[in-house]
Chains A and B, each alone.
Chain A
């Protein structure tokens, strides 16, 4: 079950490159075991975070204080594009990220965030840029506040921005809802649909023991 998300005031780290794909967020070989979860935090952004000898890349923002403590990422456009791997979200979560602010996201990554209690905020690129530069000006000291109920972001200067979010997803995050459990309650509707559909499109349904 996802952890509920309500309000957050935290250090934010801007990673403003565009098209940061989920391969860059977490490499596939970190995900191929069945026991990878819980070990992914240190591998998030591995290609950017570590040099080829395995040491930390001092140039990368998440290796610098206070950004090491960041719970919010401010990102360039099309963040999380590419592979469907939910490990990308898990790795961010395991390194302490709870919200990602950007002007656009890869669709599957965006959906995966909600499944894990991470809030992805879509907002105009001018506002993303403004937030990033305010954070940079204060060397990360200026914290960002997010209020999901009020759908607002407060910048280090106190400037407030409103963001839009699908009400169903907002409710899901606020309450930490379990989608599987919610859908299972509707199982009679699923079975009724299948019974009718078996008559309408019999070529879709193979012999079923479960119906």
Chain B
């Protein structure tokens, strides 16, 4: 006795230590390795060039998402997208890795399909060559993005050398006001702690408001962990988690399910666990959020005013705001509400799951997209697409004037020719409003699916609360 409690991070981390490499660095076992079209075949080719074989192909899964076209029937495939798809097919087949191919259930954005297939399990260690791998932490997994060299390392060894991060707990408390979604919660947090507020930390999201979230909402929260600098975000598994996972394709079955759940119940941080950083966010006065600048930390309530550089004393801060306003073509001190827009993008690993599409369709139903706006809905996976169509969501969107597309990353990172034109303004449900992220010169405002749908209807940045019924 007398030992302080352990955090969920420590419990999961320790269970994966193959060997200690130095005081704070370990060789960890990787339970699930997800590959996508952008880096997957390159990693497999690197491995081949070194004369090595994939250590555990049965723990490795692949799907094309980043560079494939999301045009109906994949009509817009680029040469590079086709080449990457072909290479992913050839190299996964040669290595005995299962690939969820185009038009098959299981294809989709890697961070959508992992949870959907039950590949992402509580207590598992998941990596992928993509920074938004932190998404899977919504199910209580220890999941993080890696670079190309680390990807090759995992293919060769099924292990990874990692330094143990510090821990940060974020408690969301209070009742969520109308119109405030999981996306608004996490954007508000990033605005509060800054884009580097979580650097070097694994973030555990806790508090009554998080316990009350669905798994899809928890995935959205964890997805943006990287945007506050943390490469890991996680939520302790609970009954909501088990209900979500039960019966999924790769989730354990029968006796194994019972054993797994018993184990997962022990993963939550102990009540007396100590975190290196603790943050409390009170939701009760929160309003829908929208970004105005070129970092996710450049966020305000939709009824708020864009920061005025003249009012900022610190010279460095003032220059940063001026640079962002210049790129975004906005004036400091003005309300953001009513800013005219050209594009709406509903999709990405942040907000392309069924519940996101339902929320957007709820706003779009019986209304029309403004004639000046081009609005796309890109489901996160083939399964999301089929489920949404079974509910008639595609019809609601199309009747309102949205374009209904095939699953993929699409306009979130614009790796496939799907871009917002220079100078055009987009409200997007994705995760990054970086300079040029949605295409050179594109201006991106991040918001929730419901807020994005409201903007599409209004033809301008809008307060979704005025449209919700």
CB proximity to A under 8 Å, residues B36-75: 38, 41-42, 45, 50, 52-53, 55-59, 67
**Given A18-B320, A32-B84, A82-B226, CB of A106 within 8 Å of CB of B153:** no
CB of A115 within 8 A of CB of B22, answer: no
Is B437 part of the contact surface with A, judged by Cβ < 8 Å?
Answer: yes
A111 contact from B57, B81, B147, Cβ within 8 A: B147
Kindly list chain A residues whose C-beta atoms are within 8 Å of the C-beta of B41: 34
CB of B50 within 8 A of CB of A82, answer: no
Kindly list chain B residues whose C-beta atoms are within 8 Å of the C-beta of A27: 436, 440
User: A7-15, A56-64, A199-207: which one contacts chain B?
Assistant: A199-207
Is B161 part of the contact surface with A, judged by Cβ < 8 Å?
Answer: yes
CB proximity to A under 8 Å, residues B195-211: 195-196, 199-200
Kindly list chain A residues whose C-beta atoms are within 8 Å of the C-beta of B121: 203-204
A86 contact from B123, B149, B200, Cβ within 8 A: B149
CB proximity to B under 8 Å, residues A24-67: 24, 27-29, 31-34, 47, 52
**B24 closest partner in A (C-beta):** A166
CB of B149 within 8 A of CB of A116, answer: yes
B196 contact from A77, A206, A211, Cβ within 8 A: A77
How long is the Cα–Cα vector from A82 to B84 in the complex, in angstroms?
Answer: 23
A19 contact from B22, B57, B195, B319, Cβ within 8 A: B195
CB of A112 within 8 A of CB of B413, answer: no
**Given A184-B157, A190-B158, A204-B31, CB of A84 within 8 Å of CB of B130:** yes
B87 contact from A16, A34, A76, A190, Cβ within 8 A: A34
Kindly list chain A residues whose C-beta atoms are within 8 Å of the C-beta of B96: 209
CB of A47 within 8 A of CB of B440, answer: yes
**Cβ distance A12 to chain B, nearest Cβ, rounded Å:** 19
Is B214 part of the contact surface with A, judged by Cβ < 8 Å?
Answer: no
Q: Give the residue among B41, B230, B434, B437 with the most A Cβ atoms within 10 A.
A: B434
Is B353 part of the contact surface with A, judged by Cβ < 8 Å?
Answer: no
Kindly list chain A residues whose C-beta atoms are within 8 Å of the C-beta of B22: 166-168
CB of B157 within 8 A of CB of A190, answer: yes
Is B414 part of the contact surface with A, judged by Cβ < 8 Å?
Answer: yes
How long is the Cα–Cα vector from A85 to B226 in the complex, in angstroms?
Answer: 13
Is B7 part of the contact surface with A, judged by Cβ < 8 Å?
Answer: no
Kindly list chain B residues whose C-beta atoms are within 8 Å of the C-beta of A17: 319-320, 323
CB of B147 within 8 A of CB of A104, answer: no
How long is the Cα–Cα vector from A105 to B159 in the complex, in angstroms?
Answer: 24
Is B129 part of the contact surface with A, judged by Cβ < 8 Å?
Answer: yes
User: B256-264, B283-291, B367-375, B451-459: which one contacts chain A?
Assistant: B256-264
B19 contact from A84, A112, A186, Cβ within 8 A: A186
Is B179 part of the contact surface with A, judged by Cβ < 8 Å?
Answer: no
CB of B58 within 8 A of CB of A208, answer: yes
Is B10 part of the contact surface with A, judged by Cβ < 8 Å?
Answer: no
How long is the Cα–Cα vector from A179 to B146 in the complex, in angstroms?
Answer: 14
CB of A52 within 8 A of CB of B422, answer: yes
Is A150 part of the contact surface with B, judged by Cβ < 8 Å?
Answer: no
CB proximity to B under 8 Å, residues A65-115: 76-78, 81-87, 89, 104-108, 111-112, 115
Kindly list chain A residues whose C-beta atoms are within 8 Å of the C-beta of B175: none
**Cβ distance B426 to chain A, nearest Cβ, rounded Å:** 15
CB of A28 within 8 A of CB of B414, answer: yes
CB of B156 within 8 A of CB of A82, answer: no
**Given A19-B297, A84-B130, A183-B157, CB of A108 within 8 Å of CB of B436:** no
How long is the Cα–Cα vector from A32 to B418 in the complex, in angstroms?
Answer: 14
B18 contact from A78, A87, A189, Cβ within 8 A: A189
Return the CB mask of B135-165 against A: 1 if under 8 Å, else 0: 0000000001111111011001111010101
**A107 closest partner in B (C-beta):** B231
Kindly list chain B residues whose C-beta atoms are within 8 Å of the C-beta of A184: 52, 156-157
A180 contact from B156, B229, B323, B436, Cβ within 8 A: B156
Is B111 part of the contact surface with A, judged by Cβ < 8 Å?
Answer: no
Kindly list chain B residues whose C-beta atoms are within 8 Å of the C-beta of A203: 121, 251-252, 256-257, 259-260
How long is the Cα–Cα vector from A24 to B41 in the complex, in angstroms?
Answer: 25
CB of A166 within 8 A of CB of B25, answer: yes
CB of A168 within 8 A of CB of B252, answer: no
CB of A32 within 8 A of CB of B415, answer: yes
CB of B131 within 8 A of CB of A82, answer: yes
Is B389 part of the contact surface with A, judged by Cβ < 8 Å?
Answer: no
Kindly list chain A residues whose C-beta atoms are within 8 Å of the C-beta of B25: 166, 168
How long is the Cα–Cα vector from A18 to B324 in the complex, in angstroms?
Answer: 11
Return the CB mask of B221-232 against A: 1 if under 8 Å, else 0: 000001101110
Is A126 part of the contact surface with B, judged by Cβ < 8 Å?
Answer: no
**B38 closest partner in A (C-beta):** A32
Kindly list chain A residues whose C-beta atoms are within 8 Å of the C-beta of B29: 190, 193-194, 197
How long is the Cα–Cα vector from A201 to B457 in the complex, in angstroms?
Answer: 50
Kindly list chain B residues whose C-beta atoms are within 8 Å of the C-beta of A197: 29
A189 contact from B19, B251, B415, Cβ within 8 A: B19
Kindly list chain B residues whose C-beta atoms are within 8 Å of the C-beta of A77: 196
How long is the Cα–Cα vector from A52 to B435 in the complex, in angstroms?
Answer: 14
Is B124 part of the contact surface with A, judged by Cβ < 8 Å?
Answer: yes
Kindly list chain A residues whose C-beta atoms are within 8 Å of the C-beta of B15: 201
How long is the Cα–Cα vector from A10 to B457 in the complex, in angstroms?
Answer: 55
Kindly list chain A residues whose C-beta atoms are within 8 Å of the C-beta of B87: 34
What are 24 contact pairs spanning A and B, CB under 8 A?
A21-B434, A23-B434, A27-B436, A28-B413, A32-B415, A34-B45, A78-B199, A81-B199, A82-B226, A84-B130, A89-B147, A106-B199, A107-B229, A108-B146, A179-B149, A184-B52, A186-B27, A187-B157, A193-B29, A194-B29, A197-B29, A209-B96, A210-B55, A210-B57
Interface residues of A (CB under 8 A from B): 16-19, 21, 23-24, 27-29, 31-34, 47, 52, 76-78, 81-87, 89, 104-108, 111-112, 115-116, 166-168, 179-180, 183-184, 186-187, 189-190, 193-194, 197, 201-211
Query: Which 3 pairs from chain A and chain B are nearest by CB?
Result: A203-B252, A115-B149, A86-B147
* New contact pairs (5) apart from A107-B200, A168-B22, CB-CB < 8 Å: A21-B432, A23-B437, A27-B436, A82-B432, A211-B56
